[in-house]
Structure 1
């Protein structure tokens, strides 16, 4: 209770004091340079001084009161230098001029202002002891007031100057006279302001004509509309950038100019860095981005637009707009990757396909990482076009496979040329020789037997050579791949084999087959060899059945090592209920001239499945065989999809 009584006692003393007491604090906490202060306390005298009433001004901004702007400037100076400021001001109340002494001093985290009324016998300044009331004292009072205004202007960080127009004989503005300029200009230009005032702007700085400053000021004076501009000036070989606001006032212009040289230097450095980054991105064929996860906005570098075939800022910065470029089959993959990255704040590294402005399909790789700033999460990363890289890798893999295959074929051909191909020729030569030795002029039954053997061997030799030629020419086709409907391929083959199928009462069932990129006559040969193989190796007493199935699989989810991970494949399955084969032959069955049965049991040369394998490989696919003796066989083909 005693504390409360003491507080009320001292509050009454302060409120009833003859001096106006005002405590203000910066509107921005902790700032020593602000555009306004909030009144935290004002006694009765202060309320009356600023508002001409007894109403409390506590909590109001100081800037809204008369002389508030000048006090704010000095308050900033007091907080910065921690030194008090004392000056005199005059105020007209009713018809009388009242003089006041103002003291501004730092107090805790704000500023304390004491305003005391000066009586006639005590009013003086440092240079005059004259009492107020006579002509000399009134003149001195005006001088003090002017000095206060000049002090306020000189303490400002901006250049403040007042210009008066200079007219020619046609009453047109030809120049502007520098009527007043504060000390800040002298600090920037490194010369006395007294030497600047009194000159015209074109006398002081002739380039004001060619840099457009004079034209802007003339337009401001004529139209009365405010103008803003930023220009570079050279003072004593030093570059200074000034940002200026011109305002028409009375019969002249008042200019407020701020030194923005440092900002311009930063801007120039940033421009150079951005230019270097842009050039580096162009050379590396990459672009960069910054994604505001909270606003779903993405800021792209210029090269990102180029990668997508657009001009700068031609598409907006929304996340959904990026998704619109994606290939439909990659949409869920990309959304899922970004969703997991946002949730776990883990590094994102993903390859996806996009359509450019020209509807070209390109492969893009995005690598991004997450970081937090000012409570917001962002993702920064790069986007690079990896189409050529993937194509090169695919071509390299294909070339390596072709090289291995060619080497293997050469070895096998050497074996064939040295043994299998020579066998029919040797028989022909042997029997022809015997025929000449034993029968001349006519043929006996024995000779006829020899002749039959010659014919049999010759036929086999012909088929062998034909198949061998077919095998060797698979990779030598000049025809370019195109869209091929596999349903048409199957129908053509079934029509060719129709009589044989009917003779065996065979049943061929197929699902609807897709469209692939390939060479039609080779694909027809592939289907004919596989279906013909199933019709050849049938079980006695069992109706032959052949099923053809189709599906789409991803290379990275298949257990087949030969498939590329970033490509989708059409999977074709040819399943029959024939005699089948043992598991140990499922790899060997595709080797050239490889036969699992004697030539007396089943006709053939051992090249049919080798040709199938070569056709599939020439289409960048792979073929596999699976069988079980007595239960049938299954041949599976993987061909790349169109997309």
Structure 2
């Protein structure tokens, strides 16, 4: 049913029905016209038959009158009837001529008329001869002979008359029958035509009414679509100058998108020139192009940029000539344009990255390959060819051709790896040697995996020339063995320092102590001075040995790492140096410090050394002040260059108002045994700050110092947050 309903509502069906109706109307009209024409012909035939009948009777009446006039002149011996005869003869000739005109389409009647003409001539001759026999005083004895001849001719004529009238009656009956039939069919046909026309016009009226309703609904729907579309849709009418040339366009219709995109009310811009409402059409010859489009009945499209309240919009504009005007559709493609610009930027970045990647592959000596194992067809990158000292595309890569480059000593291992990889299809690194085209031996490391491509599995992978790395690894193994020996020697030194060096020192200090208790008072002043120096040197040597042990025992890896509260660390340091702080009258300001991952005793030693230095290198003129503060900073803001595993760091600053030092020595003070002051003025052995640096680095951090002579110092520590 839906199909029939769709067909019934189809405009194509309307066109077909209209064509059929027109054909039927034309056919019925033609039939009616034919019937009317036939009716006219039939009427003419009836009329013609009646005229023929009338003229036949008239003709023969005239012949009878001619005979009567001649006979009267003979009988009455009166020649006055001659004039009457001549008149009847002329009339009969005219009647005969008229009959010839009436029966020109009737062969049989024409033949009869031809016979009548002949008999008429004979009759005329006879009657004329009879008339010549008339004498005023006596009658001609031969007159009766002519009278008898005339009577015989008239009898023949009357016979022809009877035939003509009979034939004419038959034609008349036929014509009357046709006429009566046509007089019945023609009104009936006219009635049918009228009824059919009424039916056609009734159906056409209702269909037109329905189509009008549909058009109104379509117009309403189209209006809703036009007003709800995301595109600006306008219709323009041409504005002409005095010469009839189009110079501008007037807005005849504008949808609501003019308000949405251009802040223009549709009601306010209708009727105004587009050059006034849209000044951007005056740029880039847009108005001229639109005029040409209208003049050439064409369609054009172009891109245009419109700035609204400082914001740029991009529109793809379609202009089409139609109905003595222009239809313009402006599609907002700002998002597409911005996306395209972003895509172009991404493509540019991708090209740069591809270029960088290509250069990186060359620098890293990396190549790639794709291998169809079923067909033994491979594709390798240009850099893979370069690794083999070949030109790109120099040989067709396959398992067999590439296998020729594998080092003979690694062939068995290479084949075993390939077989294992095919069976397991698991990625695994494999290192082997190749002999390049130039005879160079290179170590290649490869790793591949299987992927689906076009319904089949292929292997893709990378190879890297690791000849230099393997060389470095071999060198590194040698150096590691050397380092292990150095560590063993250092451990041996630690044992010596911790026992063999300290044991004699303890005995020296023990003898010094006993000598001081019993023999010091017997020494001279110079001897006492020397003895005090021996005591001082022994104490300094003991401190040096302890610091060296401390420095050497700080390993490269932090052990026993835990959450360490630096506030507790600083509290412990203040307790350890409480007497010294009180002795010099120093004030220590410690702001809230964070928790870090570290070893408590190492961090205690770190801050203890820094506090100790601040107390040691104080200015004699002012009261010592020490400040410890902390803040969190991102790794990018750390100006120094070191390996930064964390994204954020705690920046801890320990500052004082002591004597300071020359800023040019900021790096050297962290080296072992580096001192900036004389031993006789400030005690120490130059290991404390080196220990601080090693502890900070052991916690994956960094330490540096800033200072000026006479203006104090600041030690900045960065520890991972």
- Structure with the largest fraction of strand: 1
TM-score if structure 1 supplies the norm length?
A: 0.35
TM-score if structure 2 supplies the norm length?
A: 0.31
- Structure with the largest fraction of helix: 2
